[in-house]
Amino acid sequence: MDYNNIYIEEENGLATITIDRPKKLNALNKETIEELHNAFKELEEDASTKVIIITGSGEKAFVAGADISEFADFAVKQGAQLASKGQKILFDFVQNLSKPVIAAVNGFALGGGLELAMACHFRVASDNAKMGLPEVSLGVIPGYGGTQRLPQLVGKGLAMEMIMTAGMIDAQKALQNGLVNYVVPQEELMPLCTKLAGKIMNNSSVAIAQAIKAVNAGYNPEKDGFAVEVEAFGTCFGTDDFKEGTTAFLEKRKANFPGS
């Protein structure tokens, strides 16, 4: 598939999606959101892809926000539709992907950019990264899951402060409060993400998909996370990966997972 605003690189089971709108600091417009949906869908369906990293082009920004010019004249109904569609095709879609998605936050992650990073399964930041949800300074609120995911990650108090002040936090504060897992110099960002992806790929991709489903269920008020875990745990017992993993352990050798 051809893309105008992103590009994909694939090597040894690792796919890297780069948002490539450097003149706009990789801001998310409608076309980019659609392209990202298609890219994630394509990689989800590709059996050879085991882990996905998403990042932004250049060294200034992961994603500096949404493209405000596209919705500045929207009315109430259009605004609600914008948020609803975006959440469905990208942000919730990424969160519920069966393949692990790592956000490599290389600079500014603001508004929709931070919301995209938070939808990923975990985040690694460069030491120049700045993160925030500045929407209230525009007379609107975060609409791509920011009011829900930020409190889950950093706690209600800090989330309320960040949203109400429209302020940014630096990479170290993001690390201290659980918003990112690691902070490294810019030149070490992609190597660390690749190393983490490699560790993930050593394990059963079938089991990882079930683990993602179970963890996400715990944050869904409509689901019983423990019940989902029990079902997912049981499902694993019927897989070739389970047979290989347990056999390899008993034989004191490294597992070679058929589903991985």
Please give the pLDDT value at position 259: 65
Query: 105 and 160 in one domain?
Result: yes
Reported as a single tens digit per residue, the pLDDT across 193-251 is 999 999 999 999 999 999 999 999 999 999 999 999 999 999 999 999 999 999 999 99
pLDDT > 70 in the chain, percent = 99
Residue 104 lies in a domain: yes
For residues 70-80, give the mean pLDDT.
94
Concerning whether 34 is annotated as a catalytic residue, the answer is no
User: What tokens were used for 32?
Assistant: 């980019």
- The pTM for the full model equals 0.97
Here the CATH number for the domain that contains residue 15 is 3.90.226.10
Residue 259 lies in a domain: no
Query: 222 and 98 in one domain?
Result: no
CA distance 89 to 96: 11
Nearest alpha-carbon partner for 18 in 119, 98, 101, 104: 104
CA distance 114 to 201: 26
Catalytic site residue from 9, 42, 70, 115? 115
CA distance 62 to 130: 10
Structural domain including 138 reads 6-201
Query: 237 and 117 in one domain?
Result: no
Cα–Cα distances in Å, from 14 out to 93, 100, 201? 19, 10, 9
Using the predicted structure, report yes or no on whether residue 115 has a pLDDT greater than 60.
yes
CA dihedral 38, 93, 158, 107 (to 10 degrees): -20
Residue 17 lies in a domain: yes
Residue 1 lies in a domain: no
Residue 260 lies in a domain: no
Please give the pLDDT value at position 67: 87
User: What tokens were used for 259?
Assistant: 């589903």
Using the predicted structure, report yes or no on whether residue 258 has a pLDDT greater than 90.
no
Picking from 201, 226, 241, the residue at the C-terminal end of a domain is: 201
User: What tokens were used for 45?
Assistant: 């369906």
pLDDT-based confidence at residue 61 (cuts at 50, 70, 90): very high
For residues 35-47, give the mean pLDDT.
97
- Lowest-confidence pick of 47-56, 67-76, 103-112: 67-76
Query: Is residue 4 within 8 Å of 21, Cβ to Cβ?
Result: no
CA distance 63 to 61: 5
Q: Is 242 left (phi over 0), alpha (psi -120 to 50) or beta?
A: alpha
Cβ contacts of residue 14 below 8 Å, gap of 6+? 49, 50, 51, 52, 53, 194, 197, 198, 201
Using the predicted structure, report yes or no on whether residue 188 has a pLDDT greater than 70.
yes
Residue 44 lies in a domain: yes
Element (H or E) spanning 204, and its range? Answer: none
Strand 6-11, strand 14-19: pairing: antiparallel
Query: 221 and 196 in one domain?
Result: no
Query: 143 and 45 in one domain?
Result: yes
Query: 235 and 151 in one domain?
Result: no
Please give the pLDDT value at position 54: 98
Using the predicted structure, report yes or no on whether residue 173 has a pLDDT greater than 70.
yes
Split into its structural domains, the chain has a count of 2
Please give the pLDDT value at position 95: 98
Query: 223 and 155 in one domain?
Result: no
Query: 243 and 215 in one domain?
Result: yes
Query: 220 and 132 in one domain?
Result: no
pLDDT-based confidence at residue 260 (cuts at 50, 70, 90): low
For residues 150-175, give the mean pLDDT.
98
Query: 193 and 213 in one domain?
Result: no
Element (H or E) spanning 129, and its range? Answer: none
Catalytic site residue from 135, 188, 222, 231? 135
Cite the beta strand spans of 152-203 per DSSP E: 168-170, 182-184
Please give the pLDDT value at position 134: 98
Query: 173 and 124 in one domain?
Result: yes
Cα angle value 45/229/205 (rounded, 5°): 30
Nearest alpha-carbon partner for 65 in 126, 122, 131: 131
Concerning whether 9 is annotated as a catalytic residue, the answer is no
Please give the pLDDT value at position 1: 82
Please give the pLDDT value at position 9: 98
Query: 232 and 130 in one domain?
Result: no
Q: What is the edge-to-edge ordering of all strands in the sheet holding 168-170?
A: 61-63, 108-110, 130-132, 168-170
For residues 64-93, give the mean pLDDT.
94
Residue 71 lies in a domain: yes
pLDDT > 90 in the chain, percent = 95
Residue whose pair of structure tokens reads 């200034």 in the numeric block:
60
Residue 258 lies in a domain: no
